[in-house]
Chains A and B, each alone.
Chain A
Amino acid sequence: MADYILTRMVYSVLSILGLLMLVFFLARLTGDPSHLLLPIDASEEIRQAFAERHGFDQPLLVQFGNFLWDLVHLDFGISLRQQRSAMEAALEAFPTTLKLAGVAMAIATLLAIIVGSLAASKPGGAFDRIASTLSLGGASAPDFWVAIMGILFFAVTLRWLPTSGSGGIEYWIMPITVLMLRPFGLLVQVVRGTMIGALASPYVKTARAKGLKRARIIFVHALRNSMLPVITVAGDLTASLINGAVIVESVFGWPGIGRLMIDGILQRDFAIVQSTILVTALTIFAMNIVIDVLYAVLDPRIRHS
């Protein structure tokens, strides 16, 4: 068990390294990195001086060594637009995103488990049909469009909610709703599917032969077993939640890491892009470990393997 988690950690670190290497070499191989690192209107002399100062004239492997060295020191250079350490900017924006994503994911998961279980307890019933249709809608909705339509309706027309920015609870409602839409939709389907399977499983027959109450069979016997695939999907969704955060943050002007990255990309601020990649990768890495541990807690077969 501990072996398993250690192994996963080593692989995750390798994954992150691989990702950063990919970024490094893509940036170097697709042309002069000073194009990426300097403003587009920089003169030729400035480029030359910049290249020498940062060692871009040196062999690729030496550059890679320097890159790794900086990496170990969490040094991603200075953001050209913000004139401060890129890592600092990324770490400053990170908690805002974490709060947004955490709340959205928590609500989505909890709601999905309840709705999905109830839908599975009577497949084909009225509740199931409504829940299934709604969840399909949630999973199919283009989040950026829902966000814009939300602004149009609740902010511009009705003036109930602010269009963008951050502050009190009214600023949270729309971003969280939009962000949880897709995870909720997908999770309801997963919960429903695995619960239907679990409720048809042999051990549920045993529970019925024991004369247990329906609610106990659903929530004690079937749900605990269904949690494993649900957790897997929820884990995969963490990555896609960051996708959503980029959209939501950029539409609602939310000062998180997703918006920082989009701005970095649009303003060609390479240092910012690199540091935001590392921060998100580390978050997902931490999330994966939490999921591995949860898995072992929920399933004795994994604990003992």
Chain B
Amino acid sequence: MATPIDALPKAPAEETAPPGLFRLLLRDRFALVGAVFLGLLVIAAVLGPLLIGDLATKLALGQRNLAPGSLEHGIAYVLGADSLGRSLLARLIVGARNTLGIAAAASLLAILIGGTLGLIAGYAGRWIGNLIMRLTDIVMSFPSLLLALVVLFLLGPSIVNLIIVLAITRVPIYLRTTRAEVLEIRERLFVQAARAMGARSTRIVRRHILPVVLPTLVTIATIDFATIILAESALSFLGLGIQPPSFTWGAMVANGRNYLGSAWWLAAWPGLAIMLTTLSLNMLSSWARTIGDPQQRWRLEIAGKRR
């Protein structure tokens, strides 16, 4: 028999989900726009180097602080140029690569650390669970930006340190969620039933607990991704994040701040990019929450009919 055991339970869950997840997305215009924007952004970030070549670093002193809105110098300069005459559009695409890359790496690291520690805290004995929770409280109770600033100050700013610091400040979210879910699931009857059949802890975690916890963590990651982007931007804006010659959107805003009076677009575009990205992520996750809540889902189902 082809056992469904290894064909993770997630895949069938999606199959049996009522048809039209896509159609439900169409019913929420904000979420749809958000999804389209994020899709384009990811494509631009991935294909970026193919599209723009060396435009992001090519100096053109004749076009210093070129104003946006003109196609005179080609489509690459439609958003204007920076103080060294480099294409802002090209730099935004490179910034997207770095911003999204760092945020993705930090998210992944935070899920890994938070999920693992959360499983341990939820399933191991009281003593070790308490210790982990107290350590989490320390991280939680202190402003994440200050924590990141202090650690970067002590360890020195670099991309790796930046990712680690961003991950550490987000770990508590995943850790607490995982632990709470584990504590709840391990009391559920189907886990009790497995124990009554003689299943051991490792089996229960792998078979019954992880498949329930993982989707929750992924859902949180959508919202948290936006938070990480904001945190990274703020750190880079303050000068303790990414260091030149590398740059992210946040660093671009910091750079543009010096030309606020003469060339507002240097700070405006990268900030707008951050805002649109985080807004799209939040719209999508708000839509996902409505879908996931059986008490709210009908709103989207009848939304299309009333229009």
Contacts and interface: CB of A to CB of B under 8 A. Distances in A.
Complex: A in contact with B (CB within 8 Å): yes
Nearest to B300: A124
Contact of A143 (B135, B146, B234): B234
Please report whether the interface of chain A is mostly helix, strand, loop or mixed according to DSSP. Answer: helix
A19 B142 contact: yes
Interface string B259-283: 0110010011011101100110111
A261 interface: yes
A30 B238 CA distance: 22
A156 B257 CA distance: 12
Given A26-B151, A273-B150, A156 B260 contact: yes
B143 interface: yes
A152 B260 CA distance: 7
A132 interface: yes
B134 interface: yes
A142 B271 contact: yes
Interface string B233-257: 1100111100000000010010011
A268 to B, nearest CB: 8
Please report whether the interface of chain B is mostly helix, strand, loop or mixed according to DSSP. Answer: helix
A214 B151 CA distance: 51
Interface string A115-154: 0000000011000000011001101111111101101100
A69 interface: no
Contact of B271 (A36, A148, A268): A148
B137 interface: yes
A239 B134 contact: no
B278 A239 contact: no
A280 B149 CA distance: 14
B31 to A, nearest CB: 11
A277 to B, nearest CB: 7
Given A11-B134, A133-B30, A284 B264 contact: no
14 contacts: A23-B154, A123-B299, A137-B279, A139-B282, A141-B278, A145-B267, A148-B267, A148-B271, A152-B264, A152-B267, A242-B143, A243-B146, A265-B240, A284-B143
A-B CB proximity, top 8 nearest:
A145-B271, A243-B145, A140-B278, A242-B143, A140-B279, A15-B138, A142-B274, A18-B138
